[in-house]
A and B are shown apart, each in its own frame.
Chain A
C-alpha cells in the first residue's frame, strides 16, 4: 500500500528491515506533506518503533529508502532523552551545539518561548513534571528547525491534562508547517489528532488514510462501532 502527496517533506519507498530471518518491516511506502499529522498505529510488534527509528536515522533499513526533500528530521524518543542534572536551558544549549545550530542562544530562547518553559529555564530537569520533561524532549527535537518531527509514543507517560497540552502544542507546530509523524497505541487519540492514519500489522502497512476512511472501510456506522472497535474489526478482517 502506497500513499503519495504532492509536496512531501518525508518520503518512504519500499522500506524493509530484517532481524536475522524475521522481517520486522516489509515494503512500507508513504509520503507526508508539510503540516500533516500522521499517526502510525498497530498491535504490539507491528513494527511501529522500528519504522520510526529508521526514519530518524538511528538504524539503517535492510532495503528501501527514506527521502527528506523538505529538510532535516527531528526525533523525539518515547522517554525524555534529557540530562536530569542539567537545567532546561543547559540541555537545550548542549543539544543545539551538538546539532551545530548556527545561533545557539537565540535558538534556545526561541524553544523556551515556544514550549512555555521560559520561567523554568534554570531549573534542573530532574525536578520537572513528566509533562514539562516531554515538552523539553520535543523542544530538543525541534532545535535544528526540522521539516518533519518524529515522535515515538509521545503521550504514553502523561496524565490527561498533560496530554491535552501536548496535543495543543503539536497542533501549533503542524499549523506552522512542521510535518508530525508519531507512533501510538492509543487509537482514540490517533482518531482525534491525526490527519492520516498508517496501520502496521506484522511489519506490513495494511491501511493508510484518514480515520474516517478506516471507519468506512469496516462499516462502523452501520454496525454502531466506536473508533476503537472499528480499528479492532479492521485488523480482524485483515487477518490480524
Chain B
C-alpha cells in the first residue's frame, strides 16, 4: 500500500489493475479468436499451423499472467475493498458484487481450461475438448465484467480496445460459421444465435448501463466510495 501516492491521487495499483485487466482482455480475445479460427486450418507458407497454434497457446498463457497481475493489483489497491477470495469465489465481494463476481467466474473458467490443456496428455481427447468449450463462456463473461466493474467505460481508449476485442472474436466466429455452411447446422445456428443475442444485448445495455448515468452507484459500489469513484473517473478522463 503506497500511502504517499494515495494521498496524491489514484494509486499506482489502481492504474495497474485497469491496464493489466485491459491487456488480459485483449490477449484473451486473441486466444479465443485464434482458437476459433485454428480449426479452419487457414495457413499460409509464412504462417504454418503450428505457429498459429503456438500463438494461440501462448496468448492464453500470457493472458493468464496478466490476469493474475490484474487480480493482485486490485487486491493490493486500497481504494476498493477487494480481497483475494473475491477473485475466485464469485459474487461475495463488497465492491460491485455482481460485476466483480463475473470476473471471478471468468477467472475460474480460464484457469480450468488452462490446467486441463497443460494436462491434456493425461486425459482423453474428448474430456479435454469438453473442458475447452468453457472458453466460449469465459470470454463474454470477462467482457461484461470489464464493462461492469471498470471505471473507464466512458473513455475512448477502453471503447476502442473493447471494439477491437469484440470485432476480433465476432469476425472469427462469423468466418468459422460461414466456412463449410450448412454442415452441422445446429451448432452453427446456435453460434450465430448466441453471437447475435450477445451483440444485441450489448447494444441495448451499454448506453443505459455502464455508459449511462450513475453507473458506479447502480453497479454496487459501496456508498462510502462513491464520491471517490467520481473523482477517479474524472481523473482518468484527463
Q: Tell me whether A and B are bound partners.
A: no
Instruction: Name A residues whose Cβ lies closer than 8 Å to a Cβ of B.
Output: none
